[in-house]
Structures are given as structure tokens and as C-alpha cells.
Amino acid sequence: MLAGCNNPVFSVNEPTRYYSRSHYRRGNHPMKPKRVLIVFTTCCLVLAGCGVNKSIHIADGEIVDSGQATVNGSVRIGAGCEVRGNCQTVNGKVTVGAGSKVGGLRTVNGSVTIADDVAVDDDVGTVNGSIRLAKNVSVDGDVGTVNGPIACDAGSTITDDVSTVNGSIHLARTEVGGSLTTVNGSVELTDHSRVAGDVVIKGKNRRGATKKTIEITIADGSIVEGDVIVRDSKRQVTVILTGGGQVKGEIHDAKVVEE
């Protein structure tokens, strides 16, 4: 039995909009409101009549006319499905089979894994977990994590931004219509990936903290159309340009290594 829920409870219209985008722009640490947010989201899902303590499984080829939501359970969408709404959970992973068409995909504590040739008609986001896009995945929105890596395989497209706070970003032959943003993670663009906007390193180099060098690798003919921007000039950032990788804009407050 499907645990349906027609009303979207939380959204990632910005890269990890579980907290507001302005919160990140001010350089605030996202952990402070997280417990309150998780409790609030869980309560909203319960009040909305969504499933609790059970997983949702949509069989191969099935068409579902509404979004799906649960608490303390996973969401598994089979191959060749169509889900006309967002799928979301608290404390569970989200997986989508090959060739499916879905709305947004969101979880608070769990990974999001998307198979080949999937079309996502909204944002993809998690707070604590990884995001993995296989080949030829299209996302009509943002892709974002707070604590976890993001990886996209060849042929994928993301119309808006890609962001993480504590996690790496790896893109292989991937088109990003917006910008890439990180705070504490490395960025690697390979196999002719293209970022239409900027690569932005946010956050401050806190006193007494270990000085970690953040590496931005642009390789194999990949291109950043905009700038590489380091918000805090005291942070150690290295931009590695190799195999014909290019930054067409300017590189601000970062060491540049050309190989």
C-alpha cells in the first residue's frame, strides 16, 4: 500500500532549502537550527497524514498521481515509473530506478540514488547523506546536501545550482545551469563538464581550526563560464587546471596550478 501525501511539506527550491538560502549567504553554520527543523518536518508529515515507520515501494512501470511521503522509512521507486509529485522522507533513503519520471526528491537523514535516464521535475536534496546521479539524469532544479558528497555521471544535466557544506562535488560530463557552492569540500569537474555560473567557496577560516586546503580541479576540457570566488581571502584554496580545463571568468583569492 502506498503512503500517499498530496501536500509537500518541505522543499529544496534552493540548494538545501531545509534552511533558508539567506542563512547560507550570511555565512552562518547550518547545524544550529537543524534539530528544530527535523522535529518540525517530522511533525508536519505526521499531521499531513503521511506514513510513519514504514517504507514506500512503487513497482516497476507504475504511474502514481500524487507525491509520496513517510517518516522512518525509505522511498523506493522502480524502473519506468511516473510519480506526479514530490517524494520525501525523514530518516530513510530515496532510490529511483532507470527511466522513471518523478517530482522532487528529498530526505533529511539518508542518501538519494538515481539510476540512468531519470527525469526529475524539481529539486534533489538531503541534509545528512550523499546524492548520486547515474548517466543521463536530468534535474529541473537544484541539487544540494549539507553533510554528504554529490556525484554526477556522464550526460547528466542540472538546470540550477549544485551545493554542499561538508562534502565533495564530483561531476563527469555534466551540465550545470547555475553555480557550484561548497564550504568545506573539494570540487572536481571532469570529462568536458560545464558550469554556466560561478564556483563559490563560502565560509570563514575559523581561528584555531585546522587549515585545510580546498582543491577545485577543472580537468579534461571542462569549463567554468563564470568566476571562482573565495568569500574569505584567508582560506586556502587551490584551483587546478589540467587537460584543457578552463575558467573563463576570474579566479579570486586562490592559488592557481596549471598542469
Say yes or no: 132 and 181 in one domain. no
Average pLDDT of the chain to the nearest whole number = 85
Say yes or no: 114 and 207 in one domain. no
Which residues make beta-bridge pairs with 52? Answer: 71
The model's confidence at residue 22, banded by pLDDT at 50, 70 and 90, is very low
**pLDDT in the model for residue 210:** 60
Q: What's phi and psi for 214, nearest 5 deg?
A: -95, 125
pLDDT surpasses 60 at 198: yes
Q: Residue 163: inside a domain, yes or no? A: no
pLDDT surpasses 80 at 226: yes
Say yes or no: 177 and 55 in one domain. no
Which residues make beta-bridge pairs with 237? Answer: 214
The model's confidence at residue 212, banded by pLDDT at 50, 70 and 90, is confident
The CA distance from 213 to 215, in Å, is 6
By the 8 A CB rule, do 107 and 86 touch? no
The CA distance from 124 to 14, in Å, is 10
Say yes or no: 12 and 116 in one domain. yes
**pLDDT in the model for residue 234:** 87
Say yes or no: 202 and 139 in one domain. no
Say yes or no: 95 and 214 in one domain. no
pLDDT digits (tens, 9 = 90+) for 232-248: 988 999 999 999 999 99
The model's confidence at residue 21, banded by pLDDT at 50, 70 and 90, is very low
Count up the domains in the chain and report the number: 2
**pLDDT in the model for residue 101:** 98
In terms of phi and psi (left: phi > 0; alpha: psi -120 to 50; beta: otherwise), the region of 200 is: beta
Say yes or no: 222 and 134 in one domain. no
What average pLDDT does range 135-155 have in this prediction? Answer: 98
Say yes or no: 145 and 200 in one domain. no
What average pLDDT does range 133-138 have in this prediction? Answer: 98
The CA distance from 218 to 232, in Å, is 21
pLDDT surpasses 90 at 39: no
Domain boundary among the residues 105, 120, 151 is at 151
pLDDT surpasses 90 at 16: no
The model's confidence at residue 53, banded by pLDDT at 50, 70 and 90, is confident
**Domain of residue 142, residue span:** 1-151
DSSP 209: S
pLDDT digits (tens, 9 = 90+) for 152-176: 999 999 999 999 999 999 999 999 9
Q: Residue 200: inside a domain, yes or no? A: yes
**Lowest-confidence segment of 19-28, 155-164, 194-203 by average pLDDT:** 19-28
What average pLDDT does range 90-95 have in this prediction? Answer: 97
Domain boundary among the residues 118, 151, 184 is at 151
pLDDT digits (tens, 9 = 90+) for 75-89: 999 999 999 999 999
Say yes or no: 126 and 172 in one domain. no
Say yes or no: 213 and 258 in one domain. yes
Inter-CA distances, 213 with 15, 44, 93, 234, Å? 23, 40, 31, 11
**pLDDT in the model for residue 148:** 97
